[in-house]
Every structure is written in C-alpha cells, then in structure tokens.
C-alpha cells in the first residue's frame, strides 16, 4: 500500500513558533537543518561541547551556542543530529534537566529503536528524517524546494507529536516536495539494511571484486579502475534521476544486453539469502549490539579496516588517477 503524501497544506499548526529549538551537533545535517529552521522563522540554538571545532563556525552563522545542559534548560525541542554512537553520551548529560512537554527529535531511529537511550514518559519523541545529505537539504531549501522527509512518533506525551513532526519537516522545506509518515523501526531497519547490503557494503564489495577480477586476469589497473569504479557515477546518476528503465534507455545496446544476461549471475539467490541474513541481524538487534560493543572498545575493527584500505591497489591507483582529473575536486 502506497504511503500518503503530506505537504505544506497538511500542516495546520504552529506548535513550534513560540518555542526554541536546540540542535545538538553541527555537522552536515545539523548545519543544514539549523539554517533552514532559522530562515523559516524559528528560534534556534546550537548545543556543542566546550572544545568543539564547530563553535566558531556556528557563531559566525549567527547562532547562539551553548553547552548541552543549558540547551536542555532553555529549549523546548531538542534535536539529536550527531553520530548515532554519541547519542547516549549526549542524552545522559541532558536527561536530568528534561522537562514536561519537551520534544526530543531524531533524524535516524537507531538510538531510540534499539534502546540505546530511553526517554522519560513525559516528553514527545519524534522522527524527522530528510532523505538526502545535509548539503542537499540546504541547497534545495535555498532554491525554494525541499527534500523528501520521513516522519514518525515513538512517544506521544502531548497528543500532538505527529503534528509537531509534520511542522518541523515543513520548516525544513520538505512540505514543498513530500513528507511520508513512517516509524522509528521502519526508517532505522531499512536504512541500516540499505547501507550494508546495497549502497555502501554491496557497492563497495562489488567495485573491489570487479577491479580485482580484471587485474588478476592481467589487465592494467588503470583501465580496471575506470571501468569498475570511475564509471559507476555515470550509471548511478542516471538511475537516481529517472530510474532503472530510463538508465537502460541511455546506455548502449551492448551494455543493456550485458546487464540483462549477466546481472542475475552476480546477484544470485544466494546473494538474496545473504541479504535476508543481514536484515535478520538488524531486526534482531544483533548488528546494533555488535556496533555498540565496537564503539565501547574504541572502534578497533573500524580503524584497522580503514588503515588496510589505504594500502589496497584500487585506492592507490585511484588517488593517482584522480590527481589527473582536477574537475573532480571540489
């Protein structure tokens, strides 16, 4: 069943107009959402650690910056826009100062859905998840448009949580495109699955496997890099803009025929079974448990894998070739 599309016309409340919104974190999403809210006429403060490198940039953009305790005392809405692994630390600082009728907002459902933080019963807990990177959230707003957002409610203490989530999403600009009602569970589990099986883990592994297959067969690594990594953007951009069918119309007949006969040889029923296992690990909470254990140990596996990747041939070849293409550098 298709989800209902909500837009600006469906937002009939002004719950947040006389409230102060506290943005926790000032990375890509924090910066974009804070600027959009400010330009939409809302009062915004930024909560950061005293030694944060983001304090001066936030102040230069005209925002008042304060510590998390002050943010909890002074703001009626607190928006968690820092990495998932730091939600608990921030929440522990804030929780003693939370007040009745405050609103906790998240743009990813991980910490709430998997119980990393447990909000008190007297606050609203909502989800507003723009489905785009921070720079697009901002640039689309500046163009008079907006990216699509998902909204959801985990706890409705006030009875108005959905309306508040809708108003916040509209303030980001999403009401000019589309807002879909979802849930912390669906947003979180689908997001983790796509990251692991398709857009990060799947694509990453596919690119490296293709590169290694060609180089191990004796082909020059430069050619392997162009064919398996560099040209990925051309195809993904076509799919992103107009879908898979349109992409096939824009590629050569040779490429389209190869797509049809070879794709199912790469992504087999065994591949789907592996995806199903990944999804089961997410749904059961096993992935969240492993990730949080990794965090508590200081991310040793993550750091090792990052260091190892620096020495992979595909990265070394790519660094040299990208140096020959200055138009790629922004």
Q: Give the whole-angstrom CA distance, residue 322 versus residue 50.
A: 38
| DSSP H or E segment with residue 45 | strand 43-47
CA distances from 128 to 55, 79, 116, 117 (A): 24, 9, 18, 17
Active site residue 135: no
Using an 8 Å Cβ cutoff, are 96 and 126 in contact? no
Burial class (CB in 10 A: 0-12, 13-18, 19+), 29: buried
Check the CA dihedral 267-268-274-275 and report its sign. positive
Task: Count other Cβ atoms within 10 Å, centred on residue 178.
Answer: 18
Task: Count other Cβ atoms within 10 Å, centred on residue 171.
Answer: 24
**Annotated catalytic residue, options 108, 135, 250, 311:** 108
List, in sequence order, the alpha helices (H) in 61-103: 68-74, 87-94
- Pairing mode of beta strands 64-66, 43-47: parallel
Q: Which residues are catalytic?
A: 108
């Amino acid at each position: 069943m298709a989800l209902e599309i909500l837009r600006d016309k469906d937002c009939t409340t002004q719950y947040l107009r006389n409230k102060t919104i506290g943005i926790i974190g000032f990375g890509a999403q924090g910066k974009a959402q804070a600027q959009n809210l400010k330009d939409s006429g809302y009062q915004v403060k930024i909560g950061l650690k005293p030694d944060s490198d983001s304090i001066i940039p936030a102040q230069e953009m005209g925002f008042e910056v304060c510590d998390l305790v002050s943010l909890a005392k002074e703001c009626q809405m607190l928006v968690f826009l820092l990495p998932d692994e730091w939600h608990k630390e921030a929440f522990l600082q804030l929780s003693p100062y939370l007040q009745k009728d405050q609103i906790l907002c998240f743009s990813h459902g991980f910490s709430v859905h998997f119980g990393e933080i447990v909000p008190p019963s007297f606050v609203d807990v909502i989800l507003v998840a723009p489905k785009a990177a921070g720079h697009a959230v901002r640039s689309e707003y500046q163009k008079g448009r907006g990216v699509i957002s998902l909204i959801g409610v985990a706890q409705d203490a006030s009875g108005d949580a959905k309306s508040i989530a809708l108003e916040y999403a509209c303030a980001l600009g999403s009401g000019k495109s589309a807002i879909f009602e979802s849930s912390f569970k669906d947003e979180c589990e689908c997001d983790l699955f796509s990251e692991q099986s398709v857009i990060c883990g799947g694509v990453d592994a596919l690119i490296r496997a293709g590169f290694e297959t060609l180089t191990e067969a004796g082909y020059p690594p430069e050619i392997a890099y162009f064919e398996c990594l560099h040209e990925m953007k051309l195809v993904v951009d076509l799919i992103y803009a107009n879908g898979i069918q349109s992409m096939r119309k824009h590629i050569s007949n040779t490429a389209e025929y190869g797509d049809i006969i070879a794709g199912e040889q790469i992504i087999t029923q065994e591949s789907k079974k592996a995806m199903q296992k990944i999804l089961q690990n997410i749904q059961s909470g096993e992935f969240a448990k492993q990730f949080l254990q990794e965090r508590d140990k200081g991310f040793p596996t993550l750091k090792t894998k990052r260091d190892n990747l620096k020495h992979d041939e595909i990265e070394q070849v790519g660094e040299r070739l990208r140096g020959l293409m200055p138009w790629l550098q922004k």
